[in-house]
Structure 1
């Protein structure tokens, strides 16, 4: 399991509006593409710099592919990264103010202290 890789996915997708929409509409394909093409590109260095060892576990891939932010939190994804990305994807589906944020909080309400470790 790589909390770093989960967080890297959430961070990089959230910063690209086209990727946000692609992930919303085609999550399985986007996760597979990102893992194959982007997972091992080192952040903030020239494209030529890359690693070859990072990959999602089956559980991480499943949680990402189904937009299961509760499972992502349990796996150690940072809650601010999941919240900001999923707000961008799903806030528009709620009519009431803070609709998605309230749904997010309700879906994570079963967690109690100590929360899963989010350190990378």
Structure 2
């Protein structure tokens, strides 16, 4: 398991409106593409720099592909990264103000202290 890679996915997808829409509409394909093409790129470096060893495990891949933000939180993904990305993807589906944020809180309400470690 790599909390770094989970957070890197959330961070990079959230910063690209086209990727946000792609992830919303085609989550399995987007996760597979990102893992294959983007996971090993080094953040803030030119395109020629990369590593070769970073991969999601099956549980991470399933949680990302299923938009399962409670499971991502349990796996140690940073809650601010999950919240901002999923707001961008799903806030429009709610009529009331803060609709998605309230849904996010409800789905994570079973969590108690101590929360999962979010350190990478």
Secondary structure of 1:90 counterpart: helix
- Structure 2 unaligned runs (5+)? none
- Tell me how large the CA RMSD over aligned residues is: 0.2
Name 2:20's counterpart in structure 1.
20
- Residue 47 of structure 1 deviates from its aligned partner by 0.6
1:60 corresponds in structure 2 to 60
Partner of 2:75: 75
Q: Distance in 1 between matches of 2:57 and 2:96?
A: 36
Structure 1 consecutive aligned stretches of length 4 or more whose deviation exceeds 3 Å: none
Please name the residue that 1:36 is paired with.
36
Deviations 1:2-21 (Å, cap 9, x if unpaired)?
Answer: 00000000000000000000
Q: Name the CA distance, whole Å, in 2 between partners of 1:26 and 1:13.
A: 13
User: 1:64-113: per-residue Cα shift (whole Å, max 9, x none)?
Assistant: 00000000000000000000000000000000000000000000000000
Give me the TM-score of the superposition, normalised by structure 2. 1.00
User: Structure 1: any 5+ residue segments left out of the alignment?
Assistant: none
Q: Distance in 1 between the 2:44 and 2:13 partners?
A: 15
How far the C-alpha of 1:46 sits from its partner, in A, is: 1.1
Q: Does 1:113 align with 2:110?
A: no
Mapped partners of 1:51, 1:74: distance in 2: 27
